[in-house]
Chains A and B, each alone.
Chain A
Amino acid sequence: MWNYEKRLQFPINIKEPNAKLAQVIISQYGGPDGEMGASMRYLSQRYSMPYKEVAGLLTDIGTEELGHLEMVATIVHQLTRNLSMEEIEKSGFANYYVDHTIGVWPQAAGGVPFNACEFQVKGDIITDLHEDMAAEQKARSTYDNILRLIKDPDICEPIKFLRAREVVHYQRFGEALRITQDHLNSKNFYAFNPGFDRCESCDN
């Protein structure tokens, strides 16, 4: 289960509204490499993890990603909460506004709704950890792309923080993969699926 802490993981205080940036940053809320997908990916993959330490890591990173989801939503909210009708019309925000007013809804920058097809639960620890490492890199690239578009330090600082977490998570998933390798036979890491096969071969 989960407990809520009534504070953000990193402070966000944006003074200037900016509907254009909000439409880009919302991709890290509900887009293909966003925090919602990250959290759901790791939390869903836990159940088929054969090793306790790896399942524990997925729980803790999946939980941190929920905090990141809240941070991204906060950025979008603070960038849009004080928009005038004129700014909404001029900035291209009217398409979003007509369906959601200034509520925060999980979609990609291009308007595509959040889709669980953006992540996988393969039920194979090697496959799933490779996906997780790739996911951290994809999110890192997205934050790089966002950083090139931002000048306001109020937005830059939390985005830089979120980007740095992707690098740390990548390292931890890499270590989880090393732990996995240690459990398996290095002559053939792919001989069986430790989360599914009860015997290593039919001879046993």
Chain B
Amino acid sequence: MKDYSFEEPFEKYPLAMAYVPWQHFTQMYENLEKGYRAGTIFPELDKPFTGRRCIK
């Protein structure tokens, strides 16, 4: 079994709590139509679904 022992900067956070990384505004989609269709103007939050089950 893989030994899951993480030593990241993140490990300094207090235990037994959930943390989502803080977003820092860098850019909006230059093409706003693209952002509208993607459902967000922030490229870093654009995470489309691409899954296919591929069982016949």
Q: Do chains A and B make direct contact within the complex (CB under 8 angstroms)?
A: yes
A166, closest chain B residue (CB): B39
Q: State in angstroms the CA–CA spacing of A148 and B48 once bound together.
A: 13
Q: Is the CB of B47 within 8 A of A148?
A: no
CB contacts under 8 Å to B, within A161-183, are: 161-165, 167-168, 170-171, 173-175, 177-178, 181
- The yes or no answer to A143 lying at the interface (CB within 8 A) is yes
Q: Is the CB of A167 within 8 A of B45?
A: yes
Given A143-B49, A144-B49: A164 touches B38 (CB 8 Å cut-off) = yes
Q: Is the CB of B49 within 8 A of A168?
A: no
Residue from B14, B18, B52 within 8 A of A186 (CB atoms): B14
Q: State in angstroms the CA–CA spacing of A148 and B49 once bound together.
A: 10
B14 to chain A, nearest CB (A): 5
A53 to chain B, nearest CB (A): 14
Residue from A133, A147, A161 within 8 A of B39 (CB atoms): A161
Q: Is the CB of A164 within 8 A of B23?
A: no
Given A148-B53, A175-B23: A164 touches B48 (CB 8 Å cut-off) = yes
What band does the interface of chain A fall in when counting residues whose beta carbon is under 8 Å from B? Answer: 20 to 34
- The yes or no answer to A15 lying at the interface (CB within 8 A) is no
Chain B contacts for A181, CB-based, 8 A: 17, 19
Chain A contacts for B38, CB-based, 8 A: 161, 164
Q: State in angstroms the CA–CA spacing of A161 and B34 once bound together.
A: 11
Q: Is the CB of A175 within 8 A of B22?
A: yes
- The yes or no answer to A90 lying at the interface (CB within 8 A) is no
Given A147-B49, A171-B23: A177 touches B18 (CB 8 Å cut-off) = yes
Q: State in angstroms the CA–CA spacing of A181 and B15 once bound together.
A: 12
Q: Is the CB of A178 within 8 A of B45?
A: no
- The yes or no answer to B37 lying at the interface (CB within 8 A) is yes
Residue from B19, B49, B51 within 8 A of A178 (CB atoms): B19
Chain B contacts for A130, CB-based, 8 A: 18
Q: State in angstroms the CA–CA spacing of A130 and B21 once bound together.
A: 15
A174, closest chain B residue (CB): B20
A-B contacts besides A161-B36, A161-B38, A178-B19, 10 pairs, CB < 8 Å: A133-B20, A144-B49, A147-B49, A164-B40, A164-B48, A167-B47, A168-B40, A174-B19, A177-B20, A186-B14
Name B's A-contacting residues (CB within 8 A): 14, 16-23, 36-40, 42, 45-49, 51-53
